[in-house]
Amino acid sequence: MEVPAYAKLNLVLEVLGRRSDGFHEVRTVLQTIDLADRLTFHPASGLHLQCDDPSLNGEANLVWQAAVSLAKSRDIQPRAHINLEKHIPVAMGLGGGSSDAAATLIALNQLWQLNLSILELSGIAASLGSDVAFFLAAGTASAAGRGELVTPIHPLPSVPVTLICPTATFPDKTSRMFSRLTPGHYSDGERTSRLEEILEGDEFVADMQYNVFEQVAFQEFPELDELRLRVESATGAEVHLSGAGPALYFLPSSEDEFQRVSHALQHSSARVYLVHTISPGSAPGVSD
């Protein structure tokens, strides 16, 4: 059984404040793109995970944790051999690990003939990470809470996206981003609600995009700000951060803009992709 695990962008990302449990309350609009990892599942006598990036093997991988959590929920032994082929750059704010975990829940639910509903899988997904529940259905959705309260909304049509992924590492990126937020950065969720309304009207307004972390990321990581400025200078486009970054993107894009960005960054180590937004109905799913 082979399953794709798609990356995501945050079209809007707001932080409403800090919660009593130490997490932050967020509102966001999430969108899958057709950059995807591939997972293959085979019956086995035990649980085995093999990744083409050896650093991602082992029990710390969310794929392993998803398999164990799903098996535990039905009091069975986790038995599968899982191959993970990585194409989504790691730790970029693109949700690769969360998407891999969701793909694992979907595939093993079928392979083990558990017949759990999406709602039941969502409960397991929420225990694994904030974005995992979104990837069970993917497409276009809004999310609240820590990101685990997901509501599908009218899908964005297929739109080209230029995606830029730095190869520089940004240690403790997410915790540093959240630690730099002050009450002055918090908002009321209105931007998210407004984009939801626009999408429900079967349109998309590019300048409605917003990410609160852009207010701190480009100060915290000057090399990321330099990369953003080079992309904007090459295209004139407004560049946004996905999640807590450091992946940058702009949409709508074009082949010409993608080529201009690729040329502008040819002497850097950044990876540049031309991808497209994707909805569940147009995405290939589980295959035997």
Q: Pick the catalytic residue: 37, 100, 131, 173?
A: 131
The answer to whether 101 and 125 are in contact (CB under 8 A) is yes
Annotated active-site residue 8? The verdict is yes
One-letter amino acid of 213: F
Instruction: State the DSSP H helix or E strand holding residue 135, giving kind and residue range, or none if neither.
Output: helix 132-135
| Edge-first strand listing for the sheet containing 248-250 | 240-241, 248-250, 160-165, 271-276
Planar angle of CA 117, 122, 124, nearest 5 degrees: 105
Annotated active-site residue 173? The verdict is no
Is 47 strand, coil or helix?
strand
CA dihedral in degrees (135, 140, 146, 148; nearest 10)?
-40
Residues 6 or more apart whose CB falls under 8 angstroms from that of 24 comprise 15, 16, 17, 18, 146, 178, 181
With CA atoms as reference, report the closest residue to 181 among 211, 203, 209, 148. 211
Q: Tell me the C-alpha distance between 176 and 36, whole Å.
A: 27
Q: Tell me the C-alpha distance between 46 and 246, whole Å.
A: 37
Q: Are strands 2-18 and 210-211 parallel, antiparallel or unpaired?
A: parallel
Q: Pick the catalytic residue: 8, 37, 100, 173?
A: 8
Task: Give the Å distances, CA to CA, from 93 to 43, 45, 157, 236, 240.
Answer: 32, 35, 22, 23, 12
Query: To the nearest 5 percent, what fractions of the chain are helix, strand and coil?
Result: 35, 25, 35
Catalytic residues: 8, 131
